[in-house]
Amino acid sequence: MNLEDIEPGKSYACRFEVACLLDATGTPLADMVEGARPGVYKGLGVIVMRDSENRLVRVRDVEHSDHEYVVSWENCWDVDEVEWSDD
């Protein structure tokens, strides 16, 4: 599925990559701390908002940080609909 194909009102997730601060294990950081280094983080996130005009999405990382990132469409892949559960 492509980002152009997602339907308003439905939940979607995607794999993404973004430049950010990382700790020694490659986990993204919110703030500069001792040992932080710039790098590229690859994660899985729920799409919060899509900007079709500027070809950007805001994704909430669900793997490590729960941070939100603004990511270009070119840095997103494996877009799919989310199935929520109570687990």
- In this prediction, residue 79 carries a pLDDT of 96
- Spatial CB neighbours of 19, under 8 Å, sequence gap ≥ 6: 38, 39, 40, 41
| 35-41-45-47 Cα dihedral, nearest 10 degrees | 110
Dump pLDDT digits (tens) for 74-84: 999 999 999 88
Task: Give 16-62 pLDDT, tens digit per residue.
Answer: 999 999 988 888 887 777 888 999 999 999 999 999 999 999 999 99
State if pTM tops 0.85: yes
Residue 1, CA distances (Å) to 8, 16, 76 in order: 14, 14, 11
Q: Which residue ranges make up each domain of the chain? A: 10-81
Using the predicted structure, report yes or no on whether residue 6 has a pLDDT greater than 80: yes
Q: Tell me the two tokens of residue 76.
A: 């997103």
Q: Hey, what CATH topology would domain 10-81 get?
A: SH3 type barrels. (2.30.30)
